Structure 1
């Protein structure tokens, strides 16, 4: 989900510590506080601690994973993460981007729908430049589909547009309900290199606007043409009519919602996604690497970055910064949309 890149900068604002005016950089703040007299009292010690945390936060670089719950969008979750980190370091968000030559660069690679949960890969510092590779890598999902019901969004959040009995009319016995064997029998046609039509409710764009935005306005939207996608593995984990659970490993630009809908049609019925969990993205797994919200701290993320660095290919390893770059933090807060031929809907957001 990455190739062409467009950047829209968001205006910056300044960084001011909660307890006292902050010196020109977090690094000089730490040095100044460290040389203050011991008699300065608890307030001075707190400032030393905050300055040290600010310095550590601004030095973080790499890629890690967080656990996105159902509800917020990927962008909203990223903002929540940023707010927590800035607050821990004593950097009020409303003042943050006014600060010269300092910014917290953070972004995500591989958007998850608001109704989905699971692994969301995050880049911080120079790690935001590594996110493109996360878009084109493989992803794994557990999806629960519901037979007999179609929606305009192809998942349970949408408006029901069609209801059908889930019977095997194509098998010549329309009175019989769909069986586990029926589903397993048609999965092979959705495995390998296949063509897939993206959902109308998606971040794919028409004339610079998302299709989902146009749909919500009630505007007429034509379906995008089918495009090549890859499914590495696809298996039925459970079938308890009308619900079925799939384990899917796929490449970039693949839509689980379209898959479930197409499976319903192949069974002469219809279907939508009831629940969706991303269990793996690239080398990052939900169980082992995704940090829950109660571990979104500067120290926990620093440890995760160190642990996760060994998971990345050597060519993606972060290069040591040049001396003139080591204390410089680019002043910017932007949305970067990366479009690849297989996944134009993926957005990398950096702040």
Structure 2
């Protein structure tokens, strides 16, 4: 079970990180569950060796002793003697989520850790839903932070919010073109833009490729953000800045990642599925898509 099970573990899979859980604790929990599953298989039958045992000779009434050849098991490789076969496993984490955030968190096992580097170099976009709350400001832009200011928000309308979001998206799209070092007058750049493959050539500030309001019911509003090179703190600051543009204040009450590159919410394993067989199945199911998407995404960058 051990070696055969390990061979099916090389690759990428997605988990769902609940809010309040540190990404490192999630990684350690997954590693522990995988090791538990790999070591849970029935050990192979021990090898036999010939041993000469001293015993009474037949018919000698116990007075004379003789050596008798006997087959006995060799216990040098038994788990109770040498310990479990697997004691550590290489498990890597992709684009991280901070403790407050939730959503899709991609992990790599074994050779899959190299694919995490490819995902990083491909500068793939990620989707978030961000819940904002109008009317107050805190020191860390979070709803449960230390209150700094309270304001009114009766003048805020959906139309005003949509206009501000359109301006934000436009400015970030210009920045994306600048960091991509592409001449948009060329046919190649036009084709990449149509296919949505314009990417920055190197690390850049947070770039928003799309932002829209999905729900508006003051004081709450829900944003859908597609971006790259972001941190969750920057997304919370974005809510704060939107509040200022609306001539009020706003805090962020929830950040949830719904897509990381080519991994969606439907691909993410819940806590009850962090076991060997579920992870093996997830890695095998995602492998063809991972290879195809990475090739498509990395080809323009490498070119």
TM over 0.5: yes
Corresponding residue to 1:103 among 66, 78, 88: 88
TM-superposition CA deviations, 1:323-351 (whole Å, max 9, x none): xxxxxxxxxxxxxxxxxxxxxxxxxxxxx
CA 1:297–1:188 in 2, change beyond 3 Å: closer, same or farther?
A: same
* Correspondences of 1:93-242 after superposition (within 5 Å): 103-135=88-120, 136-166=123-153, 176-194=154-172, 228-242=205-219
Q: Is the 8 Å Cα contact of residues 8 and 280 (structure 2) preserved in structure 1?
A: no
CA 1:101–1:143 in 2, change beyond 3 Å: closer, same or farther?
A: closer
Residues of 1 paired with 2:257 and 2:267: CA distance? 13
- What TM-score do you get using the length of structure 1 for normalisation? 0.57
TM-superposition CA deviations, 1:26-79 (whole Å, max 9, x none): xxxxxxxxxxxxxxxxxxxxxxxxxx1465136511111001111111111111
SS at match of 1:88: helix
Corresponding residue to 2:220 among 243, 249, 258: 243
Does the alignment pair 1:302 with 2:280?
yes
Q: Is the 8 Å Cα contact of residues 193 and 228 (structure 1) preserved in structure 2?
A: no
- Segment drifting more, 240-249 vs 133-142: 133-142
Residues of 2 paired with 1:283 and 1:153: CA distance? 31
Residues of 1 paired with 2:39 and 2:143: CA distance? 40
SS at match of 1:119: strand
CA 1:58–1:149 in 2, change beyond 3 Å: closer, same or farther?
A: farther
Residues of 2 paired with 1:301 and 1:309: CA distance? 12
Q: Is the 8 Å Cα contact of residues 141 and 278 (structure 1) preserved in structure 2?
A: yes
SS at match of 2:248: coil
Q: Is the 8 Å Cα contact of residues 119 and 294 (structure 2) preserved in structure 1?
A: no
Residue equivalent to 1:292: 270
Residues of 2 paired with 1:62 and 1:275: CA distance? 30
TM-superposition CA deviations, 1:106-163 (whole Å, max 9, x none): 0111111212211000111011122134343110011110111122221224222222
Residue equivalent to 1:62: 11
Residues of 2 paired with 1:81 and 1:113: CA distance? 17
For residue 302 of structure 1, report the CA deviation from its aligned partner: 1.2
For residue 245 of structure 1, report the CA deviation from its aligned partner: 0.4
TM-superposition CA deviations, 1:263-291 (whole Å, max 9, x none): 011111111111121100001001x2001
For residue 90 of structure 1, report the CA deviation from its aligned partner: 3.4
Corresponding residue to 1:85 among 5, 9, 34: 34
Residue equivalent to 2:23: 74
- Compute the RMSD of aligned alpha carbons: 2.5
TM-superposition CA deviations, 1:156-198 (whole Å, max 9, x none): 24222222222xxxxxxxxx52111111111012114539xxx
User: Which has the larger Rg?
Assistant: 2
Does the alignment pair 1:258 with 2:243?
no
For residue 100 of structure 1, report the CA deviation from its aligned partner: 9.9
Give the paired residue count.
Answer: 219
Residues of 2 paired with 1:187 and 1:315: CA distance? 29
Residues of 1 paired with 2:111 and 2:88: CA distance? 12
Runs of 5+ unmatched residues, structure 2: 41-82, 174-203, 296-303
SS at match of 2:229: coil
